Chain A
Amino acid sequence: MADQHHLQTYKLSFMEHGPAAKLGNDHASKKKSKLGVILFIVYSIVYAGFVVVGVVNYELMGKIIFAGQNLAVVYGFGLIIFAIILGLIYNAICTNLENKMNKEEQQ
Chain B
Amino acid sequence: MIYSPSITAIIIFVIFVMIVLALSYYFARKTKSASGFFAAGGTIHWGVNGIAFAGDYLSAASFLGICGMIAFSGYDGFLYSIGYLAGWIVALFLVAEPLKRLGKYTFTDALDARFDSKAIQLTAAISTLIVSIFYLIPQMVGAGALVKPLLGLEHHWGVIIVGAIVIFIVATAGMTSTTYVQFIKGALLIIFSTVLSVYIFNNGLKIHPETEHQAYHHFISITPEMENDRVVKAGDYNVVDQQNIKTHTLVKLQKQGVNRWFKLVKKGAEPVLQEMLSTTNLDKGKKLYNGEPAENAKFYQVGHMSKIIVDGKEVKQTGPLGPFKFLSTIEKSEIVRFTQLKFSDGNDKVTVWYQNKTSGSDMMKPGLRFKIGKDATPVSKLNFISLMIALFLGTSALPHILIRYYTVPSQRDARKSTIVAIASIGSFYILTMFMGLGAAINGVLDVESSNMSAPLLAKAFGVGLFSIISAIAFATILGTVSGLIIASTGAIAHDIIDVYMKKNLSEAKKVMAGKISAFVVGIIAIILGIAFKGMNVSFLVGWAFAVAASANLPSILMLLFWKKTTAKGIASSITVGIVAALGLILTSPMMWSRYGLNPEDAIHQLDNPAIISFTLALLTLIFVSLATQKDNHKKKDI
Contact = CB atoms under 8 A, between A and B. Distances in A.
B85 A83 contact: yes
Interface string A55-95: 10011011010011111110011011101101110110011
Given A40-B89, A40-B93, A58 B376 contact: yes
A15 to B, nearest CB: 10
A55 B364 CA distance: 16
Contact of A80 (B92, B416, B430): B430
A21 B38 CA distance: 12
B459 interface: no
B365 A17 contact: no
The 6 A-B pairs with the shortest beta carbon distances in the complex, nearest first, are: A68-B328, A21-B42, A17-B109, A36-B93, A58-B373, A40-B93
Contacts of B89: 39-40, 43-44, 47, 83, 86-87
B349 interface: no
A9 B638 contact: yes
Contacts of A101: none
A33 B98 CA distance: 9
B90 interface: yes
Contacts of A20: 35, 38-39, 41-42, 104-105, 406
A26 interface: yes
Contacts of B78: 76
A70 B365 contact: yes
A7 interface: no
B188 to A, nearest CB: 21
B599 interface: no
B397 to A, nearest CB: 15
A62 B94 CA distance: 34
Interface residues of A, number: 54
Interface in B265-324: 324
Interface string B82-116: 10011011101110011011111100111011001
B587 interface: no
Nearest to B100: A19
Most buried by B among A19, A40, A50: A19
Given A17-B108, A70-B364, A87-B418, 4 more contacts: A36-B97, A37-B561, A44-B392, A91-B416
Interface in B501-515: none
A36 to B, nearest CB: 4
A81 to B, nearest CB: 7
Interface in B1-58: 35, 38-39, 41-43
B173 to A, nearest CB: 15
Interface stretch (B132-140, B407-415, B473-481): B407-415
B527 interface: no
B423 A84 contact: yes
A51 B388 contact: yes
A36 B94 contact: yes
A40 B381 CA distance: 25
Nearest to B105: A20
A71 B331 CA distance: 12
Contact of B372 (A18, A29, A55, A94): A55
Nearest to A5: B637
Contacts of B594: none
Interface in B357-413: 361-362, 364-367, 372-374, 376, 381, 384-385, 388, 392, 406, 408-412
B109 A95 contact: no
A13 B365 contact: no
A18 B101 CA distance: 8
Contacts of A51: 384-385, 388
Classify the secondary structure of A's interface with B.
Answer: helix
B366 A13 contact: no
B523 interface: no
Contacts of B499: 16-17
A80 B429 contact: yes
Given A17-B104, A21-B409, A72-B364, A80 B81 contact: yes
A68 B332 CA distance: 9
A27 interface: no
Most buried by B among A29, A47, A55, A59: A55
A37 B412 contact: no
Contacts of A54: 366, 372, 384
B636 interface: yes
Contact of B423 (A61, A67, A87): A87
Given A20-B406, A91-B415, A80 B365 contact: no
B638 A88 contact: no
A47 B90 CA distance: 12
Given A55-B384, A61-B365, A87-B422, A23 B410 contact: yes
Most buried by A among B78, B92, B560: B92
B426 A83 contact: yes
Interface string B59-82: 000000000000000010011011
B125 to A, nearest CB: 12
Contacts of A64: 331
Given A19-B104, A87-B92, A77 B430 contact: yes
A107 to B, nearest CB: 20
B327 A73 contact: yes
Nearest to A77: B430
B352 interface: no
A90 B93 contact: yes
Interface string B548-568: 000000000000110000000
Contacts of B101: 19, 23, 26, 29
Contact of B636 (A12, A59, A80): A12
A59 B366 CA distance: 10
B92 A90 contact: yes
Contacts of B409: 21
B419 interface: yes
Nearest to A16: B116
A26 B328 CA distance: 49
Given A43-B89, A80-B426, A19 B42 contact: yes
Interface string A21-46: 10110100100110011011001100
30 contacts: A17-B102, A19-B103, A20-B35, A21-B406, A23-B101, A36-B93, A37-B94, A47-B388, A50-B82, A54-B372, A54-B384, A55-B381, A58-B376, A61-B366, A62-B362, A67-B324, A68-B327, A68-B331, A71-B365, A72-B364, A72-B365, A73-B75, A73-B327, A80-B85, A80-B430, A81-B426, A83-B86, A83-B88, A87-B89, A87-B418
